[in-house]
Amino acid sequence: MHTIFKDFTFAAAHAIRGHTRGCQNLHGHNYRVRVHLAAGRLDELGMVLDFADLKTIMQEILGPFDHGVINDVPPFDRRNTTAELLSQYVFEEVERRLAAQERVRVTRVEVWENDTSCAAYQPEQA
């Protein structure tokens, strides 16, 4: 099994609905999102996936958040904006975009709010 990962960054504000320790107030982070991909076999060039292709996918997913308010972007206009839920959302969106790629699968997504705070989504293996 071959694996790759790539980091992406964006700046955004959010407020966590129902929080009672300050995070219910609008505040911002310089987020880092790390996406892990795996493939049982490499493509004809010897890659899991071209990093440029992953960058395009991630721009589609994260672009609407960059320099905005996450709470204004569906589905986070209804869903809370925790790093845990963001990591699951990104995982599912990458997975959906890679569905046509039989070789490649997303295995883990990490969302860092800062250098010391990270949430990850990685489904249980069947």
Q: Which of 14, 36, 110, 113 is catalytic?
A: 113
> Is position 23 annotated as part of the catalytic site?
yes
Catalytic-role residue among 23, 29, 93, 95: 23
Residue 67: active-site member: yes
Q: Which residues on neighbouring strands pair with residue 10, listed in sequence order?
A: 31
Q: Of 44, 67, 102, 124, which residue is the catalytic one?
A: 67
Structure tokens that stand for 2 in this block: 């071959």
Dist. CA 42–CA 21, nearest whole Å: 47
Q: Is 29 a catalytic residue?
A: no
| Residues known to be catalytic | 23, 67, 113
